Structures are given as C-alpha cells and as structure tokens.
Amino acid sequence: MRPTLGKVLAARRTWEIVARVWPAVSKLRATEENIESYLTRAPAAWAQRAEAAVDLAKSDRLLGKGLLTLGLLAMAGPAGADYSKHPRAQALYAALQSEHGFSAADIDSVRVALIDAQTIPSLIEAEQKAPERTETWTVYSAKRVDALRIRRGAQFIHDNRALLDRAETEYGVPGPVIAGVLGLETNFGRFTGNARVLDALATQGFDHPTRSKFFFEELEQYFVFCRDFGFPPTQPKGSYAGAMGWAQFMPSNYRRLAVDFDGDGRRDLWSAADAIGSIAHYFIDYKPELRWHRGEPLIVPAKLTRPLPGTIAVNTKNVGYTVAQLRSAGVEPSARLPANLAVGLIELQLDPGGTTDKEYWIGLPNFYSVMSYNPRVYYAMTVSRLASAMATEAAKLDPDTQ
C-alpha cells in the first residue's frame, strides 16, 4: 500500500527539520533497535512524527532502505528524554561507582539529574558549526581581533597587573597571552555561557553523531565535579560544549588543572583570579609535549620565495620541521631564528579566496601550546594577535611597564 500524501509530507517535514539541526544525519546509519529504544523515551509529539517517517521509509523506501538515523528523531528545541534509561546509562553508573567511589545514594542523584536533563539538538549543531571550522581568517579575525576587544583587554591587563605578573613568575606564561585566552573565550568574563552544563553534556554525550565518546567521558567527569565542588548537577551553566567559567574548562580539566590563585580556599573559575592562574597552569601541565616554553614568542611572519612544495604540511597540531628545512622549501621567516629550532608552518586563507590569497607564519612551540587549549589554528592565531595588540595598548595605560 502506498503511503498517503499527508504521511509523505509529514515525513518530509521531519527530515527537513533534522537536516537543518543535525547536518551529519545523512552520513549515519541506525538500526531499528536504536530507533525503537529512542522512541521509548521520546516525547509523544516527537514519536508520532518519527514513527510516520520510519513507517514511510519501510513501506516506500523514500528515505533509502536502512538509512534511518537517530538524528531523524531529533527536533530543534529542548525536550525531556529521560537519559537515565538510555542503554549507555548503566555504563555511566558503573564507572562512577568503580572509578570514583559513588555510593548508591550518589547514583540515585545522578539518575534524578539524567531524568531532568533536556535534549537540545541545537547544541550539537553549534558544536559542529564552530566558526573555527567555517570562516576564513579574514572573517574570523575581523570579529575577534577588533578595537573594542583590544581596549577591553588592555584595561583587563592594567586592572589585573599584579595577578598576571604573578602567574608569569610562577608558570612562565605572559599576562597578555592569558588575557588573550580570556578575551576570546568569554570576552573577559562577560559571557560564560547560558546552557545548562548537564543538558549540553547529556545531549552530546548520548546523542552526538561523531564525538559522543569524548562528551560521554566529560559527562562522567561532570558528575564527579559536581559532587567534589558541591554543585547540584542542574545548576552550573556554560557553553554548548559543556565548558565552564571565565576560562571555559571542560569538567575533566576543571578537576585536574584549576587552581586557587586568590587563596580563598576554592577553585572558582567564575572568578578572574582563579581563571588567570588556572590558564597559566593549564599551559604548563595539560600535555608535557606541548608545555609552555618560558620567554619564547609564539609566531613569526613568513613569506614564500617560491611555490610551496606539496610535501610541506601546513596547519598541523605540533611542530614538524626545523627552520632550516622550511627555508630549503622556500619559506623565509621575517626574523632571525636558529636553524635547528623546531617549528611549524601556518597558512591562513584570506578573503576573497583562491590559491594566492594566503598568509604565512612560522609557528613556534608556544603557538602549539595555545592550540592545546583549542586545536584550531585560527584560535591560536587570534590569541597570539590579541596578546600582542593588548600588550601594546596596556603599556599606554601603565607607563611604568614601558
């Protein structure tokens, strides 16, 4: 029996909504068991539209045999999903008990939180469409290395000079670099995120199409964080990825790397002092191979003396060449650097696009230390450029530092 026109249109509308909310949906496959499991915890309105689409696909192959996805069942707005009954919830409970010593009462509290958690597919869309993934350097930098942010950063450096100087003394990370991270992450604490961290990590940990393993582990760390820091799981708010505070630490990094820099007995990343110290500590202890090198710069401008060989990799996540090797490939740094210094090559795509519209820089080890905070070249380049510009402006506010 052919489906009715109404059923066809309902299924098509469902698919259109999901395609807008969940771009990776067409790349995924899901078994009927997955679908049935999801329907048992989906709100009735979702389930009705999803069942219509599933029925249509089975009877008419309109969506392609076997190409049913869990994304088909997700709508743009928040809705309760009762993640406490998700098939992977048992693994979460077991890990919290065996690895973190959660009691039966603690696990009951986790269950209550998972029942309360909201599914918000738009958080997945935001993570997948992060501007570092979608914009040219021209567009990205114009929005972030701007006059207002530079002025605010200069004032932040001026107002927090003592804390920033102490962080550099203890950890070696210059104050303007720390301020650059804070300026890019939260505009110096002005916007730390308005998504409940519980919702962000539950949605992405259980339902993200490609990165659920990472977010599921962070969800586990989040419940430990809430227990150890005394937060109800429904209280903290943060980014669409579940990052928290001025410094935007994920729960695992908050637990491991946050420091009490103002000595008040709490590691509070919603305070400027602890955020400053924690960012500096992060660059020292996050990954030994990407540890900050005291006293060294981040980037040096470069130019090509001839077309770049195809064998030279650009925009990697760590150093990969010596200065001498890049010179032999036609890459000339604008400043004198030791021939045996380990570096990387940064290539920035400029507007309006095209193979000749590119800008080149030499990335030194500290550039890749910043990339450990966010593994995007644009991110680390923005922090580098902000740090330089803000330091210059801050010096005008504090002549004693010149």
Taking a C-beta distance cutoff of 8 angstroms, is the pair 193, 127 a contact?
no
Extract the tokens encoding 143.
Answer: 């929005």
Taking a C-beta distance cutoff of 8 angstroms, is the pair 302, 334 a contact?
yes
Q: Percent of the chain beyond pLDDT 70?
A: 78
User: Bridge partners of 300?
Assistant: 362
SS (H, E, C) 38-74: HHCCCCHHHHHHHHHHHHHHHHHCCCCCCCCCHHHHC
The amino acid sitting at 196 is R
Architecture of the domain delimited by 89-119+192-290? Orthogonal Bundle (1.10)
Q: Is 60 exceeded by the pLDDT of residue 28?
A: no
Nearest to 317 by CA among 284, 365, 274: 365
Which pLDDT score, from 0 to 100, does residue 114 have?
A: 97
* Average of per-residue pLDDT across 336-362: 90
133-137, 251-255, 377-381: which has the minimum mean pLDDT? Answer: 133-137
State the average pLDDT for the chain.
84
Instruction: Look up 185 and say whether it is catalytic.
Output: yes
Q: How does pLDDT run across 320-341, given as a tens digit for each residue?
A: 999 999 999 999 999 999 999 9
List phi, psi (to 5°) of 323: -60, -40
Which pLDDT score, from 0 to 100, does residue 43 have?
A: 43
Q: Is 90 exceeded by the pLDDT of residue 312?
A: yes
Which pLDDT score, from 0 to 100, does residue 400 have?
A: 66
Q: Is 70 exceeded by the pLDDT of residue 27?
A: no
Q: Percent of the chain beyond pLDDT 90?
A: 71
Q: Is 60 exceeded by the pLDDT of residue 33?
A: no
User: With bands split at pLDDT 50, 70 and 90, how would you rate the model's confidence at 52?
Assistant: very low
Taking a C-beta distance cutoff of 8 angstroms, is the pair 193, 243 a contact?
yes
User: With bands split at pLDDT 50, 70 and 90, how would you rate the model's confidence at 37?
Assistant: very low
Q: Which long-range contacts (CB under 8 A, 24 or more apart) does 155-164 make?
A: 155/394, 155/397, 156/182, 156/183, 156/188, 156/390, 157/390, 157/391, 157/394, 158/394, 158/397, 158/398, 160/272, 160/273, 160/276, 161/398, 161/401, 163/261, 163/262, 163/272, 163/273, 163/276, 163/277, 164/276
Q: Is 60 exceeded by the pLDDT of residue 94?
A: yes
Q: How does pLDDT run across 137-164, given as a tens digit for each residue?
A: 999 999 999 999 999 999 999 999 999 9
Which pLDDT score, from 0 to 100, does residue 56 have?
A: 44
* Average of per-residue pLDDT across 106-126: 91
List phi, psi (to 5°) of 19: -60, -30
* Average of per-residue pLDDT across 269-278: 98
Q: Assign 242 to helix, strand or coil.
A: coil
For the chain, the structural domain boundaries read 5-76, 89-119+192-290, 299-363
Q: How does pLDDT run across 227-267, given as a tens digit for each residue?
A: 999 999 999 999 999 999 999 999 999 999 999 999 999 99
Q: How does pLDDT run across 185-235, given as a tens digit for each residue?
A: 999 999 999 999 999 999 999 999 899 999 999 999 999 999 999 999 999
Q: Is 50 exceeded by the pLDDT of residue 100?
A: yes
* Selected residue with higher pLDDT from 21 and 402: 402
Q: What is the CATH number of domain 299-363?
A: 1.10.530.10
> Is the fold of 89-119+192-290 the same as that of 299-363?
no
Measured between alpha carbons, how far is 310 from 150 in angstroms, rounded to an integer? 37
Q: Is 50 exceeded by the pLDDT of residue 40?
A: no
Of 33, 99, 127, 185, the catalytic one is: 185
List phi, psi (to 5°) of 361: -140, 155
Measured between alpha carbons, how far is 339 from 168 in angstroms, rounded to an integer? 28
Nearest to 255 by CA among 264, 239, 240, 244: 244
